[in-house]
Amino acid sequence: MAYCPVFPLKCAVNQYAWGRIGEESEVALLTQSNDPGFQLKKDEPYSELWMGTHPRGPSIVQPPGSQQPQPLDDWIKAHPDCLGDKVKAKFKGQLPYLFKVLSVNKALSIQAHPLKSHAEQLYSERPSEYPDPNHKPEMAIALTPFEGLCGFRPVKDIVNFFQTIPEFQAVVGQENAETLVAAYKNGNETCKEELQKCFTGLLTREEDVIKKNLETLAQKLEKQASAGEDMKANNGELVMRLNKAFPGDVGCFVSYFLNHMILQPGEAMFLGPNVIHAYLLGDCMECMACSDNVVRAGLTPKYKDVPTLCEMLSYKTSTVKETLFPCVTDQTDSNITIYNPPVPDFAVRRIKVPTATDQYTLSSVDSASILITINGEAQASAATTQQPSHGKALGLKKGSITFISANQSIQLKVTSTEGFLAFQAYCPLD
């Protein structure tokens, strides 16, 4: 190759108010471990670590030798073959994904992302609110126990909430609720039209009605909590927590419609087009198409587009178990777990080498990739089947972020006795 195919990146850290505080934040700990210039402040939030070419937080190339640092996007434009032929052709010389670490301390907005054709329409009509014409499917993989809302619950659970929580039925609207209950009792387990009416009824309800009923419900839940009653059955603990963070917000009632996900490390959820969701608490890896298109409707002070959201959602119901995204072990390497969603823009590999070893080869992928080390230490050097290694080895440790050109395997010498854990984003075109 005429250029160095493997090199470290320096990546942007965001400090949005919803981030975890100080040393509780995995974003902060990863950055502190790898960047000697980073000063962790124990009382400040650290929310996101961005890895990629997005203009709001571009990664900086730190090539070996005397070359000057430069934005990753500029480097890719100068060396487009690094993307791989298929990616270069399909995505017009652009890196198609954005890779992140998220540390969430306060709920992010109730939201969904549009289909690409819908994104193009929204961008054309309202570019100030929808800043690009791309879709934004995304995946979250838990680093610590990670909480979120994702997709609509089974109808039977929503019907049960109507029957046990009168305030919920009141804000949805009695007629809407009764229509859904009747459809379910008549054997309709999907009830998409009825579910849409209920959800739209809630999100378009007058603010004073929402606040009044939420105040009444919160008082009941506080009494139940003081009495030591089980709060899981009525979603009470979550509603109380959301109401404390966003007093009187309609998103507190939205939680009764959605699956409450608690992912364990390594578990994932995929947020495809028109799937309603919100992140609540914890640390995760996130990978997405390179876009900023978000349609919001609650738990946020940002722009809300309720009509668009209510119209676009799929209204597909599922259980928590069904909502978990399945991962698979690589058939040729049991150290690799693959998260490959049904979109062409990105996939993620988890690399978990259990102990120190002198010889581990991370196989190549047919696209440019970004590798972040979560735990452990290793020496990494570019390798091919024809040439075992070339160039100076890179020292990888917690927080190291490495760009790897297409079709480039990596030779790892894992030096930490606890092994090595990393995640790698790439583009999985056939």
Q: Give me the pLDDT at residue 1, please.
A: 46
Q: DSSP letters along 238-276, please?
A: HHHHHHHHSTT-THHHHTTTEEEEEEPTT-EEEE-TT--
Confidence band, pLDDT 50/70/90 cuts, at residue 220: very high
Which H or E run includes 160? helix 155-164
Q: What angle do CA 359, 421, 4 make, to 5 degrees?
A: 65
Q: Give me the pLDDT at residue 425, please.
A: 98
- Per residue in 352-364, pLDDT (tens digit) is 999 999 889 999 9
* Contact present, 239 and 255 (Cβ < 8 Å): yes
pLDDT at 66 over 80: no
Q: Look at the chain and count its residues.
A: 430
* Contact present, 316 and 276 (Cβ < 8 Å): no
Confidence band, pLDDT 50/70/90 cuts, at residue 397: very high
- Cα separation, 205 vs 409, in Å, equals 56
Helix axes 192-203, 155-164, angle to 10 degrees: 50
User: Topology of domain 6-104+327-426, per CATH?
Assistant: Jelly Rolls (2.60.120)
- Per residue in 164-208, pLDDT (tens digit) is 999 999 999 999 999 999 999 998 878 999 999 999 999 999 999
For the chain, the domains span 6-104+327-426, 155-251
Mean pLDDT of the chain: 93
Q: Give me the pLDDT at residue 171, please.
A: 98
Tell me which of 20, 296, 349, 350 is the catalytic residue: 296
Q: What is the percent of the chain where pLDDT is above 70?
A: 97
- Cα separation, 408 vs 363, in Å, equals 8
Could you confirm whether 296 is annotated as catalytic?
A: yes
283 CB-side CA count, 13 A: 18
Q: Give me the pLDDT at residue 393, please.
A: 84
Mean pLDDT of 236-250: 95
Q: Give me the pLDDT at residue 64, please.
A: 66
Confidence band, pLDDT 50/70/90 cuts, at residue 391: low
Report pTM: 0.95
Burial 343-377 (b: 16+ CB within 10 A, else e): bbbbbbbbbbbeebeeebebebbbbbbbbbbbbbb
Q: Give me the pLDDT at residue 2, please.
A: 62
**Matching CATH number, 155-251, of 1.10.441.10, 1.10.10.10, 3.40.50.300, 1.10.8.60:** 1.10.441.10
Burial 162-184 (b: 16+ CB within 10 A, else e): beebebbbbbbbeebbebbbebb
